[in-house]
Amino acid sequence: MPIDLRSDTVTRPSDEMREAARDAAVGDDVYGDDPTVNELEARAADAVGTEDALYVPSGTMGNQIAARVRTERGQEILVERESHVYRWELGGLAQLSGLQVRTFDAGERAVPTPEQVREGYVEESLHRPGTGLLSLENTHNARGGVAVPPEDIDAAAEAAHELGVPVHLDGARLFNACVALDVEPERMVRDVDSVMFCLSKGLGAPVGSMLAGSEAFVDEARRVRKLFGGGMRQAGIIAAPGLLALDNVDRLAEDHENARRLAAGLDGIEGLSAPTPDTNIVQVSTGDAGVTAEEFVAACEERGVLGGAHGEYLTRFCTNLDVSSGDVEEAIERIREAVEGVAV
């Protein structure tokens, strides 16, 4: 049986989630008539301390809706150069909202300093469209699941707000950051204007994300969701597992512990380097082994461990709801064999 560490999106819904989907009370959500969706949206808003929330099919759609609502065509959006909204959403900022992207390099910090926000800001003029939005990410996927402290989010948001620029937070793994730092979600997102978080990653739902903010923002976001093809009818069938997913926040600590155990084990294998992760994402460098990430991933797959190449010599493994501590120990041994088989 393969040990699937490609992502925390690969988990299978629990029996309870399947039963909840089967028995869900439903209505037409485009008309606002689905009681299960309405309950999920209310609970999601309460979870992050916002006025309202919107159920969307994916995190990518949530981010793209936020960008469309917050900006005008031609404006610039300020993003971290390794951010998901920039690297992994098919150029949606340009295609769907007509935005220009200006990047900054936050490095291991994963969030811009106030100085970087001010340096990246472009004032609107006769010749320039100006900066319309600052987008942050927590945890930061490509930076190795870095959990960004709320004070750093606050500082970047304050700098943007002083310039009249709203702030969106891509919080696909928001609750991982909150658990890792022992911070309440409401506190983490206090100074941003909107936040997206996924139900289908570490929380284990089969589908769906939430986009939260003020009532006025969500009203407009609902219209843009329709525009983007995200209006759903009897969506309570998929929203019901999302309600159960919100109860899975505390157990994310298990994924973090498994990730630390995995990183320590892999770091002890000659030729591999794996720093201790903040959350559930383990980044492994294979440069010292003289093995590319593609070669390494293929060798691991042959031995029943699935991961993903994220650079020439960088591989990502992601602990998740379906991976036990025993699976982690087994994965370490299988990967050790894989390295011995392909190392120069």
Per-residue pLDDT band at 5 (split at 50, 70, 90): very high
pLDDT digits (tens, 9 = 90+) for 126-162: 999 999 999 999 999 999 999 999 999 999 999 999 9
Beta bridge partners of 103: 79
Is 80 exceeded by the pLDDT of residue 83? yes
pLDDT digits (tens, 9 = 90+) for 19-52: 999 999 999 999 999 999 999 999 999 999 999 9
Please report the pLDDT score of residue 197 as a whole number: 98
Q: Per-residue pLDDT averaged across 315-324, rounded?
A: 98
Residue type, 88: W
Q: Per-residue pLDDT averaged across 267-288, rounded?
A: 97
**Residue % of the chain over a pLDDT of 70:** 99
Q: Are strands 76-80 and 131-137 parallel, antiparallel or unpaired?
A: parallel
Please report the pLDDT score of residue 343 as a whole number: 66
Measure the CA–CA gap between 139 and 59, rounded to whole angstroms: 13
Which of left, alpha, beta for 207 (phi over 0: left; psi -120 to 50: alpha)? beta
| Residue 15, number of CB atoms within 10 A of its CB | 8
Q: Per-residue pLDDT averaged across 13-19, rounded?
A: 97
Does residue 94 sit in helix, strand or coil? helix
C-beta separation of 203 from 276 below 8 A: no
Mean model confidence pLDDT for the chain: 97
Is the overall model pTM greater than 0.85, yes or no? yes
Does residue 50 sit in helix, strand or coil? coil
pLDDT digits (tens, 9 = 90+) for 229-266: 999 999 999 999 999 999 999 999 999 999 999 999 99
Measuring CA to CA, which residue among 64, 120, 53 is closest to residue 92? 64
Please report the pLDDT score of residue 235 as a whole number: 98
Please report the pLDDT score of residue 274 as a whole number: 98
Residue type, 124: E
Is 90 exceeded by the pLDDT of residue 344? no
Please report the pLDDT score of residue 221 as a whole number: 98
Measuring CA to CA, which residue among 280, 286, 244, 230 is closest to residue 260? 280
Per-residue pLDDT band at 341 (split at 50, 70, 90): confident
With vertex at residue 114, the alpha carbon angle to CA 110 and CA 120, rounded to the nearest 5 degrees, is: 85
Which of left, alpha, beta for 91 (phi over 0: left; psi -120 to 50: alpha)? left
* Helix residue ranges, H only, 182-291: 185-188, 215-227, 236-245, 252-267
